[in-house]
Amino acid sequence: MSDRFLEFTQTAFGKQLSGLLGLPQPPRLRRADGAYAEQPLARRSVLIGTAPHAELAGAMVASLAAAGAELFIAPDHTGIAPLKEAAHGLGVALKGEPSGESFAPEALVFDASGIESAEGLRTLFDFLQPRVARLARNGRVLVLTRPPSSLDDIGQRTAAAALSGFTRSLSKEIGRKGSTVNLVQVRRGGEDNLAGTLRFFLSEHSAFVAGQVLQVGAGEGAPATFGSPLAGKLALVTGAARGIGASIAQTLAREGAQVIGMDRPQEEGALGETMSRIGGRGLALDVSAKDAGERIRSECGPLDVIVHNAGVTRDKMLRNMPPHLWDMVLDINLGSIVRINDKLMQDDGFKPGARVVCISSIGGIAGNPGQTNYGATKAGIIGYVDALAPAFAQRGGAINAVAPGFIETQMTAAMPLMTREVGRRLNSLSQGGLPIDIAEAVTFFSSAHSAGVNGQTLRVCGQSFIGA
Ligand code: NAP
């Protein structure tokens, strides 16, 4: 469904009127117009800085340069020495930040590792405060740090929490320009895996991801090349006939995967159409069928990727909830995911290095009245991926979840007008996301671009104020 208000505010009259009335003016987001490029940041100006005792300068400079970014440093910046040293060692050219107001960097990236006190946060302020107003529209701010190394380290834990509060607040300030702020915590040993995560957050592939924290750790190494990350991979997507699932199937195919789309037998016609558009294969099978795991194993063979997208809502206040609606939602949204994965894990249904992506919801984080069944399943998914992460790490793979916010689909088009408008506007970007936004995050988790990311849930919600 198109967002008519957004379109209206893009016109001269709409802009003037919405300004006069103090209404939101949602920015037009710049989304990726195709597959991942080998150098998605080519010719993009990225201004970088570090805290005095930062540890990630080398990984940051190497990842950005390999992604094609044009790197700038501020001549008066206190953290300039580690950057120059890292760049010198890597043979990367750093340019001085041009003086004057006309320089509008497309990204600001700051290595905040080593900050362990309130005073230490001042270096982050000093770097970003004079520059944030000059960030280009649809720009990116990315803060890198370490997760606390010990539960007993009060300084590290305080600083980590402070950085998350800082990034989430700044993201709410600059969202009206279509810009986002995110925080990446790099575990020790995860430096070589930073490259793919950095490409995701700094490119148009993450247009609707704002105010989030993601951890990158050691584990399966980053890919040698970044184009066509799913070439030769076999991926199954449940609920693929329409909506978000169809977009996921299409985006995985865009990156080279051979896709099998699965949906209920009643949807066979729609599924066939979607699959023929993307050169994929259809499997008419209900996820809640007791033999779904066996049939997937026998009809598809071992998988590289499975995306558990199929999901339903059957909203009722708990006092009015009949047991069959409780059972149905619990079984489709959660029970079937556990059963299918168990079966595939038992019967060699996953290839080595396989990746599993589950679709959760911000409804599972905040809870919604009338959604005790749905909220339980979507929160259950978050616990499930966390619990299963070590088992997948042992196989060289990963399991993660994506939690969509308000996404423009048939489901949200059916909402009453006012509820829909509230759901759409109450986020940092003042608009609903598109199915492609979820598909991009799923594609990131389905490929080695997300090497070192395991057991996590990424909200793709434009930093929704509901469920924040
Ligand atoms: P959708 O438009 O209703 O599409 C879901 C697809 O899954 C449909 O094709 C549906 O087929 C299929 N499906 C349902 N039950 C199935 C089953 N038992 N076996 C196989 N396929 C089944 O939903 P959507 O908006 O794209 O949502 C996709 C996922 O994102 C869901 O898990 C949802 O909870 C989650 N999500 C969506 C939003 C949003 O704003 N749209 C927000 C948060 C989370 P039928 O048409 O036959 O039912």
Cα dihedral 138, 405, 381, 246 in deg (nearest 10)? -80
- Distance CA(382)–CA(399), nearest Å, equals 10
Distance 288 CA to ligand 1 centre (A): 13
Nearest CA to ligand 1 atom 23: 243
User: Is any atom of ligand 1 closer than 6 Å to the C-beta of 309?
Assistant: yes
Atom index in ligand 1 nearest the CA of residue 310 equals 7
- Distance CA(79)–CA(95), nearest Å, equals 15
Mean predicted confidence (pLDDT) in 278-283? 97
pLDDT for 415 equals: 83
- Distance CA(361)–CA(383), nearest Å, equals 13
Which distant-in-sequence residues (6+ apart) come within 8 Å of 147 by Cβ?
160, 185, 187, 215
User: Is any atom of ligand 1 closer than 6 Å to the C-beta of 375?
Assistant: no
User: Is any atom of ligand 1 closer than 6 Å to the C-beta of 463?
Assistant: no
Q: Is the confidence at residue 339, as pLDDT, over 70?
A: yes
- Which carries the bigger pLDDT value, residue 11 or residue 311? 311
Distance 307 CA to ligand 1 centre (A): 12
pTM assigned to the model: 0.96
Residue with tokens 């080695």: 448
Q: Is the confidence at residue 32, as pLDDT, over 80?
A: yes
User: Is any atom of ligand 1 closer than 6 Å to the C-beta of 460?
Assistant: no
pLDDT tens, position by position, 343-391: 999 999 999 999 999 999 999 999 999 999 999 999 999 999 999 999 9
Other beta carbons less than 10 A from residue 108's beta carbon: 23
Active site residues per annotation: 374
Distance 397 CA to ligand 1 centre (A): 25
DSSP 8-state symbol, 442 = H
Q: Is the confidence at residue 332, as pLDDT, over 80?
A: yes
467 — pLDDT class (breaks 50, 70, 90): low
Atom index in ligand 1 nearest the CA of residue 242 equals 9
Nearest CA to ligand 1 atom 31: 311
User: Is any atom of ligand 1 closer than 6 Å to the C-beta of 453?
Assistant: no
Let me know: does 174 contact 211? Beta carbons within 8 Å. Answer: no
Q: Is the confidence at residue 416, as pLDDT, over 90?
A: no
Which distant-in-sequence residues (6+ apart) come within 8 Å of 123 by Cβ?
49, 51, 52, 78, 79, 112, 115
Q: Is the confidence at residue 272, as pLDDT, over 50?
A: yes
pLDDT for 11 equals: 87
1 — pLDDT class (breaks 50, 70, 90): low
User: Is any atom of ligand 1 closer than 6 Å to the C-beta of 412?
Assistant: yes
Distance 242 CA to ligand 1 centre (A): 8
User: Is any atom of ligand 1 closer than 6 Å to the C-beta of 325?
Assistant: no
Atom index in ligand 1 nearest the CA of residue 438 equals 30
Q: Is the confidence at residue 196, as pLDDT, over 70?
A: yes
Distance 12 CA to ligand 1 centre (A): 37
Q: Is the confidence at residue 417, as pLDDT, over 90?
A: no
Smallest CA-to-CA distance from 256 within 443, 382, 466 is with 443
SS3 assignment, position 424: helix
- Percentage of the chain beyond pLDDT 90 is 85
